[in-house]
């Protein structure tokens, strides 16, 4: 289960592990006559299946392999470690009996699901509130989200000696930041050694390597001439970047979107820089990664952005994203009067400091 529009769960890659095989015996009750599958979550393969109101599912899997019991046609997966103890899974209420380890897994899973439902309901209710009440309730929702995320930190810190947290690695790697994760992934912790944890460590390492490569590639653009891009303005009229760049002014090409929270938080710094230096030869071109024109135009007004704005309204498939290799926003290029890129991603005070240096203040 997910928090709506807030968190995205990571996709999986398979990391093979060689361990001994252990038999499992799972009684699935209250199945309503449907087909119930036992899935190995590391590989994604169905190990065994059964059909009926009460089903006995037996088979073998790696010792302590993470399994999921799932009725076909339903989203809920009851998570189980193959610890060798027989278990009884209630398909209707998702409860588990027969294994202390798996009881702990289920207890946390159900509590987490309940917390997400409360948060989702609160988010849905915002639409019916006036703006003032939305602000108040949004603060309350944020507090609930922070409490929810803390539950995953607590899960890790309170279970160093067992593998329970391994069952929740997709959520842990999605809800916690890299520093928080690294603090709780010491080799001596039992769950860190589990193949399912190792799967997500591998994913994190691969993603980090991609990001570092992207940053290195992005820095290579400094010192080169800008590449022209043509996109429509808010009135639908096409403009080339070369109409504004390389024409004698210092220009910040700002990649952003109305839906991007960090972009909106950064915008006051950009606005302040524009107001201070626009009369001295500084200009800005906003290249938006929006899809929704109404949201784009509204954000321009709401954020007080009185400069040039272009967007083909194709989101991440934007021509600007393709030409400049933009994989995350906010991002920006500072281009000198001759059209040479001299800096990128000047955030916070860095933009103001650079402009003060350029304009001699």
Q: What is the pLDDT of residue 36?
A: 97
How distant, in Å, are the alpha carbons of 1, 14, 84, 111 from that of 102? 19, 23, 11, 14
User: Is pLDDT above 60 for 19?
Assistant: no
DSSP state of 168: G
User: Is pLDDT above 60 for 93?
Assistant: yes
How confident is the model over 98-116, as a mean pLDDT? 96
User: How many of the other CB atoms lie within 10 Å of CB of 167?
Assistant: 28
> Residue 10: CA atoms inside 13 Å, Cβ hemisphere, count?
22
User: How many of the other CB atoms lie within 10 Å of CB of 279?
Assistant: 7
Q: How far apart are CA 260 and CA 129, in angstroms?
A: 23
Q: What is the pLDDT of residue 123?
A: 86
Q: What is the pLDDT of residue 210?
A: 79
The tens digit of pLDDT for each residue in 160-218 reads 999 999 999 999 988 888 888 989 999 999 999 999 999 999 998 888 887 787 777 76
Q: What is the pLDDT of residue 221?
A: 83
How confident is the model over 323-334, as a mean pLDDT? 89
Please tell me whether the overall predicted TM-score, pTM, comes out greater than 0.75 for this model.
Answer: no
Q: How far apart are CA 334 and CA 272, in angstroms?
A: 16
Q: What is the pLDDT of residue 220?
A: 78
Q: How far apart are CA 269 and CA 213, in angstroms?
A: 28
| In contact, 329 and 263? CB cutoff 8 Å | yes
The tens digit of pLDDT for each residue in 273-311 reads 999 999 999 999 999 999 999 999 999 998 999 999 999
Which residues have C-beta within 8 Å of that of residue 243, sequence separation ≥ 6? none
Confidence class for position 3, pLDDT limits 50, 70, 90: very low
Q: How far apart are CA 271 and CA 278, in angstroms?
A: 10
Q: What is the pLDDT of residue 137?
A: 83
Confidence class for position 11, pLDDT limits 50, 70, 90: very low
The tens digit of pLDDT for each residue in 128-153 reads 888 788 777 888 888 898 999 999 99
Across 192-196, 332-336, 357-361, least confident range: 357-361
Helices (H), the chain: 100-125, 131-157, 169-175, 178-183, 195-219, 261-277, 293-302, 319-324, 349-358
User: Is pLDDT above 50 for 124?
Assistant: yes
């Amino acid at each position: 289960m997910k928090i709506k529009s807030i968190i995205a769960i990571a996709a999986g890659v398979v990391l093979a592990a060689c361990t001994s095989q252990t038999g499992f015996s799972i009684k699935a009750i209250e199945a309503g006559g449907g087909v119930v599958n036992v899935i190995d979550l590391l590989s994604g393969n169905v190990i065994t299946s059964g059909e009926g109101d009460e089903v006995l599912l037996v088979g073998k899997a790696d010792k302590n392999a993470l399994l999921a019991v799932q009725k076909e046609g339903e989203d809920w997966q009851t998570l189980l470690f193959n610890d060798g103890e027989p278990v009884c899974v209630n398909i209707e209420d998702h409860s588990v009996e027969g294994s202390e380890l798996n009881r702990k897994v289920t207890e946390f899973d159900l509590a987490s699901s309940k917390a997400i439902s409360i948060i989702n309901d609160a988010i849905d209710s915002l639409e019916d509130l006036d703006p003032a009440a939305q602000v108040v309730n949004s603060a309350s929702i944020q507090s609930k989200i922070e409490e929810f995320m803390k539950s995953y930190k607590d899960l890790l810190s309170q279970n160093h000696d067992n593998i329970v947290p391994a069952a929740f690695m997709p959520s842990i790697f999605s809800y916690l930041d890299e520093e928080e994760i690294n603090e709780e992934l010491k080799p001596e912790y039992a769950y860190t050694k589990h193949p399912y944890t190792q799967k997500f460590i591998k994913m994190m390492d691969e993603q980090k390597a991609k990001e570092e490569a992207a940053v290195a590639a992005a820095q290579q653009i400094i010192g080169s001439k800008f590449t022209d891009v043509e996109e429509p303005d808010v009135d639908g009229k096409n403009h080339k970047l070369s109409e504004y760049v390389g024409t004698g002014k210092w220009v910040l090409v700002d990649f952003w979107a109305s839906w991007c929270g960090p972009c909106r938080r950064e915008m006051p710094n950009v606005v302040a820089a524009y107001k201070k230096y626009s009369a001295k030869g500084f200009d800005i071109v906003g290249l938006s990664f929006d899809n929704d024109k109404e949201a784009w135009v509204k954000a321009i007004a709401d954020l007080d952005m009185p400069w040039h704005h272009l967007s083909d309204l194709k989101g991440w498939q934007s021509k600007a994203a393709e030409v400049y290799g933009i994989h995350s926003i906010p991002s920006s290029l500072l281009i000198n009067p001759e059209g040479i890129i001299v800096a990128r991603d000047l955030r916070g005070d860095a933009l103001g400091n650079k402009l003060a240096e350029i304009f001699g203040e």
